[in-house]
Structure 1
Amino acid sequence: MKLYVGIDVSSTDLYTCIMDQEGNTCAQFKVDNHLLGATFLRDQILLWANKLQPSEILIGMEATSVYSWHPAMFFHQQEELKSWNVKVFTINPKLIRKFKEAYTDLDKTDGIDAWIIADRLRFGRLKVTAVMQEQFIALQRLTRMRYHLVHQLTREKQYFLQHLFYKCSSFTQEVDSSVFGHAILELLLESFSLDEISQMDVQQLADFLRQKGRNRFADPECIAKSIQKAARSSYRLSKCVEDSIDLLLGLSIQSIRSLQAQIKELDKAITRHLEGIPNTLQTIPGIGPVYAAGILAEIGQIERFDNQAALAKYAGLTWSKHQSGRFQAEETSLIRSGNRYLRYYLVEAANSVQRHDASFRTYYRKKYEEVPKHQHKRALVLTARKLVRVIDALLRNGQIYTPRKGEDR
């Protein structure tokens, strides 16, 4: 006999349904989603376990990001429950939603959802969710924050380029230097007008670039001339609009530098934390501590996955199938589910690996040349899929990376 506990989790409450082997509701109640509430819920589970003497207890809840994390960890770690052979499941909300569609006469209420989760546990055919070890969870917090900051930095740079076009519309066409370099940003912070830049002595401008660029420009005079050329050929703004754009550029530069500094600090923390997690991912050319940490943080224990195909599906690196009779679609899209953080780090790592490893570069070029459109994106995703197979083997066997000559499959 088994005992089923369905928990509908929200930020404030845990709606609970305790169900027996026959589908009878033993108890339904609500507790607060905090330590005291979870402790009371644990005691209620123990009460019914002592009454019914089940062979095991299955506890299930929807995977609702941060809200379900604490309850799942709490019930997984409770010593009082381990003697009852407790298994904790965090279930994809889509499975619960589809299962509920079979019940046509049910309303949408939290109590009903807890009952549906308990009944879904009773139905079976669910994989036990392996709770990740704390070292992976701590690393995951760092790498996901980095993911967030990198995307925020990308958006901020896009805003900056828009403001720069207002300020100097010909800048990116004429100046052969990164607009995000220290010297160029310092020049824009000075809020010179285009006429002031145009009339400035070339040597004076070159000295400014040389000083702010810490002598990293190969030919600062050439850069200075191109900046003046861009200033002369750009549209002019009224004083009112120009002042606003100068303010926005200054604020945007501050944001960019702040985000870059935060990412740098996170990279240091990630590198330090990774030293305590044995792995061989960094033996793959092109994978450094940040990419290795991002991948490991999302995978956790490799034993959570049956094989490399299951890992690829978890990352969202598998393709939907479109087949009917003898028809087989030639162009299909990636599945829309999957762990976006793991997919991001795998794709970024694949792009780096194909630049450093000959076998991956050959594979990337082969896939790039197979199609006339979406070449880079398609080749990169396929290269990431190939990388999944390698990563799975390294983590599962604890071996180091050894490239195979002529491997192109």
Structure 2
Amino acid sequence: MNQLFVGIDVGSRNNAVYIMLPDGSKHSSYSVQNNLGGAQSLSKRVVAALMEQGLSNVILGLEATSVYGDNLVCFLREDGSLSRFNKKIHVLNPKQVKKFKDAYPELPKNDAIDAFVIADNLRFGRISAANYMDDYRYKALQNLTRARFYAVQNLTREKQRFMNYLFMKFSGLAQEKIFSSNYGAAALAVFEEFESPDDLAAISLDALTTFITEKGKNRFPNPEKVAKAVQAAARGSYRLPKTVNDSMNQVLSISISSMRAIQVQIKALDKEIERQFENIPNTLTSVPGIGPVFSAGIIAEIGEINRFKTHAAIAKYAGLAWSQHQSGQFEAQNTRLIRSGNRFLKYYLCEAANALVRCDTEYRCYYDLKYKEVNKYQHKRALALTARKLVRLLFRLLKDNRLYIPVMA
């Protein structure tokens, strides 16, 4: 086996390196700074080891550690001194490395040992092919789609805080479903404009109706009915002491500003995602309801489709696979989703499935069927199963480079 194995334990300041010979014996181990100079030193030592041993192949591996290893991976890929050798780079799932290390219970925990474990894992060769994408277009798109994922999470958390603040200020309006959305323009205008339930209850019905009509841009079919419901809810709301009410007005106003700011960020990200997505030809946008943003989120995580041999491999990579519990003649029918997987890919697949359910008859029927099969966690289960069904479709579309043709009802 004409290969050198290099395990790298990445840290924010230093990288521990372990160079392993083809037979599993140690060549050397050392530490370098996690910067350009350290990467250059690492490369020189690896090249020296290859030449010393007369080897032509090298496999380098490191754990996925947020942003700390990305620069090093790019450097190793572009480094000219390593380009004359046959090199492979693997970014390993930390869980996989940990499980591999469990086979050596006597090993202590330190950076040098972790680098050794990574190198030994590479030597055994049971490495997923779906860990590292060497096309920078996918990485650029991934930066944007993951930023959008976090922005959506922030918006969801802010909306929850907002509802808590709203209950404090207008408990009745928080309890009643008066507006189609408490985050719409008309609803937020009411919550911001009126400082207390008494102010909202005291305004004339005509004035409140006009206010709601203007802020809702004439979209309410019966604004007077909405105004009456708002005033009734205001009268039934708790009253706060003035000092507490004033503070609640302040935090509610800040929460509304935060939601608006995050929504602006998401719109800007969506626009840039669509622009970057134009550089990656694909057929996913032919699926109704998915659109360029969800398609981009899926493509950014999958990368080149040929990295995956089957749709089951993609599903497992996304965490849309169910654990198995079997012993002898017994096999459990009800099992949970596996706990591992790419949460970004899982999110975009589930969002795409949810959109497809609204736009495609076949997927709507499938979702409804799975929803009715159980009495609890109905939506969550049905959506996960629909997303798993969607994986099969997306795999075929990307593999065959063909457009989606819906099944006729």
Confirm or deny: 8 A CA contact 2:133 2:139 kept in the other structure: no
Q: CA deviation at 1:124?
A: 2.5
Cα 1:5–1:224 change in 2 (3 A) is same
1:221-276 per-position Cα deviation (integer Å, ceiling 9, x unaligned)? 11111111111111211111111111111111111111111111111111111112
Which amino acid counterpart does residue 78 of structure 1 have in structure 2? Answer: D
The structural deviation recorded for 1:73 is 2.3
Q: Does 1:321 align with 2:317?
A: no
Counting only pairs closer than 5 Å after superposition, residues 174-189 of structure 1 correspond to structure 2 as 174=176, 176-177=178-179, 178-189=181-192
In the alignment, is the contact (CA less than 8 A) between 1:284 and 1:401 conserved in 2? Answer: yes
2:30 partner SS = strand
> How many angstroms apart in 2 are the aligned matches of 1:275 and 1:236?
54
Give matches, 1:335-346, under 5 Å.
335-346=338-349
**Does the CA-based 8 Å contact 2:3-2:22 persist in structure 1?**
yes
Q: Would you say the 8 A contact 2:170–2:196 is kept in 1?
A: no
What is the distance in 1 between the residues matched to 2:125 and 2:329? 34
Alignment of 1:113-192 (within 5 A): 113-128=114-129, 129-174=131-176, 176-177=178-179, 178-192=181-195
* Residue in structure 2 matched with residue 92 of structure 1 by the alignment: 93
One-letter amino acid matched to 1:144 = R
User: Cα offset for 1:361?
Assistant: 1.1
Out of 388, 395, 404, the residue aligned to residue 392 of structure 1 is: 395
Q: 1:175 deviation in Å?
A: 5.1
Alpha-carbon distance between aligned partners in 2 of 1:142 and 1:104, rounded to the nearest angstrom = 40
**Residue 281, structure 1, aligned to residue 284, structure 2:** yes
Does the 8 Å CA contact 2:173/2:230 hold for their aligned counterparts?
A: yes
The aligned amino acid for 1:56 is: N
**8 Å CA contact 2:22, 2:123 repeated in 1:** yes
2:353–2:390 contact (8 Å) kept in structure 1: yes
Question: Could you tell me which amino acid in structure 2 is paired with residue 289 of structure 1?
Answer: P
Alpha-carbon deviation of 1:359? 1.0
Corresponding residue pairs, total? 406
Relative to 1, partners in 2 of residues 1:5 and 1:272: Cα closer, same or farther, differing over 3 Å?
Answer: same
Structure-2 separation of matches of 1:48 and 1:257: 56
TM-score, structure 2 normalization: 0.95
Residues 236 and 347 of structure 1: is their aligned pair in 2 closer, same or farther, counting only changes over 3 Å? same
Alpha carbons 1:320, 1:332 under 8 Å: kept: yes
Query: Equivalent residue for 1:359?
Result: 362
The answer to which of 314-323 and 109-118 deviates more is 109-118
Match of 2:337 in 1: 334
Distance 1:141 1:309 in 2: 25
* SS of structure 2 residue aligned to 1:66: coil
1:2-401 map, 5 Å? 2-128=3-129, 129-174=131-176, 176-177=178-179, 178-401=181-404
**Deviation of 1:174 (Å):** 4.1
Deviation at 1:131, TM superposition (A): 2.3
Give yes or no for contact 1:175–1:227 (8 Å, CA) kept in 2.
no
| AA in 1 matched with 2:360 | D
- Of 392-401 and 59-68, the range deviating more from structure 2: 59-68
**CA contact 1:171–1:230 (8 Å) conserved in 2:** yes
Question: How many percent of aligned residue pairs carry the same amino acid?
Answer: 49
SS of structure 2 residue aligned to 1:44: helix
Distance 1:237 1:127 in 2: 58
Question: Following the alignment from structure 1 to structure 2, what is the Cα–Cα distance between the partners of residues 233 and 125?
Answer: 64
Query: What CA distance in whole angstroms lies between the structure 1 residues aligned with 2:260 and 2:406?
Result: 39
Q: Unmatched 5+ residue regions in structure 2?
A: none
Structure 1 ranges of 4+ moved more than 6 A: none
Q: CA deviation at 1:339?
A: 0.3
Q: Which runs of 5+ in 1 are unaligned?
A: none
Q: Are the structure 2 counterparts of residues 323 and 305 from structure 1 closer, same or farther at C-alpha, using a change threshold of 3 Å?
A: same
Q: Say which SS state the counterpart of residue 69 (structure 2) adopts.
A: helix
User: Which whole-Å deviations, capped at 9, do the CAs of 1:63-93 have from their partners, x for residues lacking one?
Assistant: 2221122222221222332322111111222
Letter in 2 for 1:390: L
Return 277-286 or 62-71, whichever deviates more: 62-71
Q: C-alpha offsets along residues 4-31 of structure 1, whole Å, 9 cap, x if unaligned?
A: 1111111111111112122232221111
| Per-residue Cα deviation, 1:275-294 (whole angstroms, up to 9, x for no partner) | 12111111111111111111
Question: C-alpha distance in 2, partners of 1:243/1:302?
Answer: 56
> Aligned with 2:60: secondary structure?
strand
Distance 2:327 2:282 in 1: 44
8 Å CA contact 1:5–1:60 kept in 2: the answer is yes
Contact 2:5 2:60 in 1 (8 A): yes
Q: Partners in 1 of 2:36 and 2:377 — Cα distance?
A: 50
**Native 8 Å contact 2:167 2:175 kept in 1:** no
**When the two structures are superposed, what TM-score results if normalisation uses the length of structure 1?**
0.95
Q: How far apart in 2 are the matches of 1:127 and 1:209?
A: 57
